[in-house]
Homo-oligomer: A and B are copies of this chain.
Amino acid sequence: MDFSYDARTLELRERLLAFMDEYVHPAEAVLEEQLADPAREHWDIPPVVAELQAHARRLGLWNLFLPGEGGAGLTNLQYAPLAEITGRSPHLAPAALNCAAPDTGNMELLAQFADADQRKQWLEPLLNAEIRSAFAMTEPEVASSDASNIATRIERDGDEYVVNGRKWYITGAMNPACKIFIVMGKTDPAAEPHRQQSMILVPRDTPGVTVRRGMRVFGYDDADHGGHAEITFEDVRVPAGNLIGEEGSGFAIAQARLGPGRIHHCMRAIGIAERALELMCRRTLERVAFGRPLAEQGVVQDWIAESRVRIEQARLLVLKTAWLMDTVGNRGAHTEIQAIKIATPLTVEWILDKAVQAYGAAGVSQDTPLAQLWAGNRTLRLADGPDEVHKRSLARRELKRHREVGR
């Protein structure tokens, strides 16, 4: 057992930290300005992102998330600490490195399951950040954490598939540069529960696709990274070759997509927590009430200590999960992948809440990043299925183990 980062990770961390200091953090104020510009097209990605991407690419900090040839070839365990660092500036750093969700998951999915034509048409421009993509799974009408509820239909009609359905909270899809949607739907509602679904590529400009509105997250529309769209698909026809993998493989592909995404989300969330703790420390060192800095109040010290203790535990669990995925695969890491989904957002939420409280009114305002980070993190407790579903599943596996031992 060894808790030190390997040489490649250390080298990349150093390079990335320098990039953060030199380019990303200074760009945060620029982003604010560009977002506030009344002349801007609301859903366009602000131009500062492309500038950062050019620097990152030049510095070899590009597609670090992608394990195979097209990417940096890092293991999950090597990439995880880098994802954490990008979490310290989550509205800029992931996009700057072409490592932002949902494109990362989509690129992995295409690299793993798409055929050569599909990869050429969509993966290559994504790896070059020429276009953006979206992953259309969640539906407003049903509890889509239970995949058997999915109502969108994908029906074969000659050389084409016809897609009908309504999706929402499709992250990134308000951005007009988001050119391709990976849509989950049912090709065979009569099949066994986990063979009913398929995934299909639907270009944005296909007739019948309507991007209806941007969904909000606690008042935020997240226009800086393409928002969260409600989209309807009405008799949308795409060539049969747009199906990813074979009919009925949608559920399996979705599962495969989840593992690395969890690591990324959780490590970024830990980066957010570190940023929040840092802000909390700085604020309370400076702010004076009742004759002394807030940092000298016992309750504030309690928050700071708890934050540190919780962050350390959460980070180790995510790193171990990454290591398990690298060594025994997604299946072997199943419990841990669920565990980090349950534990990390709650930990980060707790810390953000205390940081907000330390800032008072500024904490809920647009003048600190805390409230928006809180809102984004809050959604992790229900994205990909609410925590309660994952706990139920984890508990059943634990019980099964004891039931078997008990025999």
Contacts and interface: CB of A to CB of B under 8 A. Distances in A.
A128 interface: no
A321 to B, nearest CB: 9
Contacts of A2: 1-2, 323
A301 B396 contact: yes
Nearest to A139: B361
Nearest to A219: B219
A322 to B, nearest CB: 9
Of the four ranges (under 10, 10 to 19, 20 to 34, 35 or more), the interface on chain A belongs to: 35 or more
Contacts of A112: none
Interface in A247-297: 277-278, 281-282, 284-285, 287-290, 294-295, 297
Interface string A185-221: 0000000000000000000000000000001111111
A77 B3 CA distance: 11
Interface of A: 1-6, 9, 77, 138, 140, 143, 145-146, 149, 168-169, 215-221, 277-278, 281-282, 284-285, 287-290, 294-295, 297-306, 308-310, 312-314, 316-317, 319-320, 323-324, 327, 335-336, 339, 342-343, 356-357, 360-366, 371-372, 374-375, 378-379, 381-383, 386-392, 394-396, 398-399, 401-403, 406
Given A217-B364, A305-B342, A309-B343, 4 more contacts: A168-B361, A277-B398, A298-B299, A298-B300
